[in-house]
Amino acid sequence: ADAIAKALSNQNYQKAQSHATPIYEFTFQGQKCAATSVAGHLFSLNFTKEYQPWSTDEEKLFQKGHTETELSKGAGNILGQLKSLVNNYQKIVLALDNDREGENICFEII
């Protein structure tokens, strides 16, 4: 996030107060922007309790409706920070890994 803020702001940015991951504020093309990051996945996708035992029939695992999404441990502060950023900035830049996991995290945030 720091490197992105430096590049987009021509090194004219400020580090903002944060309770989760660093936030870098800057102006880009006349718009108030922020760059930040997350620390891992915000949500986890799990099978419902009845389908968690190892003895579960594998074919049933592929049927729709046997999974649930829950907030990952420690992700509450980051999620709160992202919600705050959405309300206070015109543009938000997320510094995510350029791979499948980074893409997955991006869609969790969206």
pLDDT category of residue 4 using cuts at 50, 70 and 90: very high
Q: What's the pTM? A: 0.76
Q: State how far the Cα of 84 lies from the Cα of 105, in Å rounded to an integer.
A: 18
Q: Is the model more confident about 91 or about 76?
A: 76
Q: Is the model more confident about 37 or about 64?
A: 37
What integer pLDDT is reported at residue 22 of this predicted model?
94
9 burial level (CB within 10 Å; 0-12, 13-18, 19+): middle
What integer pLDDT is reported at residue 20 of this predicted model?
94
What integer pLDDT is reported at residue 60 of this predicted model?
80
Average pLDDT for 3-32: 94
